[in-house]
Amino acid sequence: MTSRAFIAGCLGTSLTSGERAFFREARPWGFILFRRNIHSPAQVAALTAQLRDSVGWQAPVLIDQEGGRVQRMSAPHWPVYPAARAFLAINDPLRQREIIRLSARLMAHDLKSVGIDVDCLPVLDAPVAGSHDVIGDRAYAHDPDRVAQLGRAAAEGLLAGGVLPVIKHMPGHGRARADSHHDLPVVEASLETLRGHDFRPFRHLADMPLAMTAHVLFTALDPRRPATVSRPIVTGIMRGELGFDGLIMTDDISMKALSGSFAQKSRAAIRAGVDLVLHCHGVMEEMVAVADSVPMMTGARARRAANALARIRHEPEPLDVDETRAQVAAALAIAG
């Protein structure tokens, strides 16, 4: 069954009849869950099954499970994971990478057990002095090469557990001085500066299956359009210069950094070369506008989707959950 090029949310902890009918007709490629959709393990497992049943295939289900302040599944039913920056307290760089990989492997275990198979992690943004703290401790480090090394460790841990990673926010949100949830960040750094810092982690992880765009305007790349809706950035920088051939999705199309109607924003992202429009709020009127504005998953878009999903259609790497949790907790306790 051919899907449509968007990812949708839902409003509650189970599907309404209206949502079920809409998804059956609109056929989104995937779904995303937020804290409003999370109550208990049994409930989340039932919801992911409902979502897939509504479209008639094993559609991807996404979540933002980074650790720290961005963790949709949390206590009391799931462990609380540290923010990315917390791992820098481990002095040995090799041990840092090992513990980040194990932490991500545990996250994958949590997610896979309730039917979630895509995690919007790792954050590959490398913050600079004066940037907004919307990224802050969500970043692994300030040094872009260190971000690349630690981000790859997290991505590999997810993949080992049968969960797809999403590298974000391409081509870099770390220099932004505003929160794109509320305002449009404008970055005035030169192309040379961006290449030497912001782009580096994304270039190093260009082999990953999925990427999320940054709702950021880079004056040196496109003085009029934010990255998400800029063909020179999506097609020229992300696809061309950075060499990324995986699926590219927007950040949430509802965020205030983007102007225009949902239809206008969705069409602009597709024209720029984005594969999938991400709509998170679950508001029916908005979802209808997005669905009516995006194409079906065909051609290169379908090829990239199939290649991404092929990365996780395997049995997860064996894991002793209790032993691994104890190992990660001990490493962080010693570091602290």
Q: Tokens in use for 73?
A: 């599944």
pLDDT value at 336 more than 80: no
Alpha carbons 155 and 147: distance in angstroms, whole number: 12
Alpha carbons 177 and 132: distance in angstroms, whole number: 5
**β-pair partners for 248:** 211
- The pLDDT assigned to 334 comes to 82
- The pLDDT assigned to 179 comes to 86
- In order, the DSSP letters of 57-69 are S---EEE-EEETT
pLDDT tens by residue, 255-292: 998 999 999 999 999 999 999 999 999 999 999 999 99
Alpha carbons 138 and 86: distance in angstroms, whole number: 9
- For residue 163, the one-letter residue type is V
Alpha carbons 108 and 66: distance in angstroms, whole number: 11
- The pLDDT assigned to 264 comes to 98
Picking from 111, 120, 128, 235, the residue whose alpha carbon sits closest to that of residue 172 is 128
Picking from 180, 191, 177, 184, the residue whose alpha carbon sits closest to that of residue 221 is 191
Q: Which of 139-148, 174-183, 242-251 is predicted with the least confidence, judged by mean pLDDT?
A: 174-183
Model pTM? 0.96
pLDDT value at 313 more than 80: no
pLDDT tens by residue, 227-253: 999 999 999 999 999 999 999 999 999
Catalytic residue from among 110, 125, 251, 252: 251
Q: Cβ contacts of residue 217 below 8 Å, gap of 6+?
A: 184, 185, 186, 187, 223, 224, 225, 226, 227
Report, as an integer, the average pLDDT of 154-165.
98
Does residue 221 contact residue 199 with C-beta atoms inside 8 Å?
no
Q: 156 — alpha (psi -120 to 50), left (phi > 0) or beta?
A: alpha
**Helix or strand or coil: residue 237?**
helix
Residue 181 a catalytic site member? yes
CATH 3.20.20.300, domain 4-335, yes or no: yes
Sign of CA dihedral 176, 168, 53, 307: positive
Share of the chain above pLDDT 70, in %: 99
* Average pLDDT of the residues of the chain: 96
pLDDT tens by residue, 12-70: 999 999 999 999 999 999 999 999 999 999 999 999 999 999 999 999 999 999 999 99
Does residue 157 contact residue 107 with C-beta atoms inside 8 Å?
yes
Report, as an integer, the average pLDDT of 212-230.
98
Integer CA distances (angstroms), 131 to 127, 185, 186, 198, 204, in order: 6, 10, 11, 13, 23
Could you state, in order of their start, the residue ranges of all structural domains in the chain?
4-335
Catalytic residue from among 92, 145, 181, 207: 181
Banded model confidence at residue 195, pLDDT cuts 50, 70, 90: very high
Picking from 181, 190, 180, the residue whose alpha carbon sits closest to that of residue 216 is 180
- For residue 121, the one-letter residue type is L
Residue/partner pairs of 81-85 with CB below 8 Å, 24 or more apart: 81/106, 81/107, 82/332, 83/137, 83/138, 84/122, 84/123, 84/137, 84/138, 84/139, 84/140, 84/150, 84/154, 85/136, 85/137, 85/138, 85/139, 85/140, 85/141
Picking from 201, 260, 204, 205, the residue whose alpha carbon sits closest to that of residue 228 is 260
Banded model confidence at residue 314, pLDDT cuts 50, 70, 90: confident
Residue 117 a catalytic site member? no
Using N-to-C axis directions, what is the helix angle for 93-112 and 144-160, rounded to 10°? Answer: 40
Q: 299 — alpha (psi -120 to 50), left (phi > 0) or beta?
A: left
Report, as an integer, the average pLDDT of 287-310.
97
